[in-house]
């Protein structure tokens, strides 16, 4: 009888503990949702008050429509978040919705679990190319990405980098392209499963091997693969335009 009572008490305790953990988890998720909404509304108000494109008298209706759609999308996303990662995704997606490269919300590498496919991409000559491959096998370095899960490389980049790239210009893709095959926990992105690369030996169909990666290792790989250049100082013609180089101010 006593054993049965102990088992009942233990079961009740476990149930109460599980309920407490669930309540705490839901409370934490709701706190992130409330914070996301507050900061989203603050960012929206800031753009309305200070961005020239938001001034009706200037007639930039396209910008105002992008801002409205971006805000509505961000508000709708809030219900799906429950952590800091979701919070940053909501604000990042809102910031890139304007199509203005002067506006962004890209936190630096942070101490949250990252996963990657062991490949760091870069932009070369208008193409997506493997700049770094993790491990001893380096067979994909220099290979050109053709598609993933029947989606073209350009379409994949547009979706995978949508929360980082404010405007679809080469400089933005070069700056953020290394994150194409990095999973930072964004709940609104899915991992590519199978990709086709154009190698020196022909097309290669690769099953993407997603696995955890420590933040220091990821930072090291992204830094090593980042293209480096010195702009210098000067003025030269580039097609119908002029290129003005200012390496520093």
> Among 69-78, 102-111, 114-123, 189-198, which stretch is predicted with the lowest mean pLDDT?
102-111
Q: Write down the pLDDT at residue 162.
A: 92
Q: Is 194 helix (H, G, I), strand (E, B) or coil?
A: strand
Q: What pairs with residue 202 in β-bridges?
A: 199
Q: How does DSSP classify residue 166?
A: S
Average pLDDT, stretch 130-142?
91
How much is the pTM?
A: 0.78
Q: What is the mean pLDDT of residues 48-62?
A: 91
% residues pLDDT > 90 (the chain):
62
pLDDT band per the 50, 70, 90 thresholds, residue 246 = confident
pLDDT at 24 over 60: yes
When pLDDT is averaged across residues 31-35 and rounded to a whole number, the result is 95
For residues 55 and 60, what is the distance between their CA atoms, to the nearest angstrom?
Answer: 8
């Amino acid at each position: 009888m006593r054993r049965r009572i102990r088992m009942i008490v233990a079961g009740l305790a476990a149930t109460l503990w599980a309920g407490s953990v669930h309540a705490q988890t839901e409370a934490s998720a709701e706190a992130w949702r409330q914070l996301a909404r507050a900061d989203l509304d603050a960012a929206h108000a800031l753009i309305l008050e200070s961005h020239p494109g938001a001034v009706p008298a200037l007639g930039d209706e396209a910008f105002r429509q992008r801002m409205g759609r971006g805000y509505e999308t961000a508000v709708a996303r809030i219900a799906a978040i429950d952590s800091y990662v979701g919070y940053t995704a909501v604000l990042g997606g809102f910031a890139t919705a304007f199509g203005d490269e002067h506006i962004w919300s890209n936190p630096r590498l942070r101490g949250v679990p990252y996963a990657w496919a062991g490949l760091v991409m870069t932009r070369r000559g208008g193409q997506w190319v493997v700049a770094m491959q993790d491990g001893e096998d380096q067979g994909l370095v220099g290979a050109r990405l053709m598609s993933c899960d029947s989606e073209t490389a350009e379409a994949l980049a547009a979706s995978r980098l949508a929360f980082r790239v404010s405007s679809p210009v080469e400089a933005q893709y070069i700056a953020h392209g290394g994150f194409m095959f990095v999973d930072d926990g964004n709940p609104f992105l899915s991992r590519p499963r199978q990709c086709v690369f154009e190698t020196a030996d022909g097309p290669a169909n690769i099953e993407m091997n997603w696995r955890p990666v420590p933040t220091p290792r990821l930072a090291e790989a992204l830094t090593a693969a980042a293209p480096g250049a010195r702009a210098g100082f000067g003025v030269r013609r580039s097609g119908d335009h002029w290129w003005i180089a200012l390496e520093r101010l």
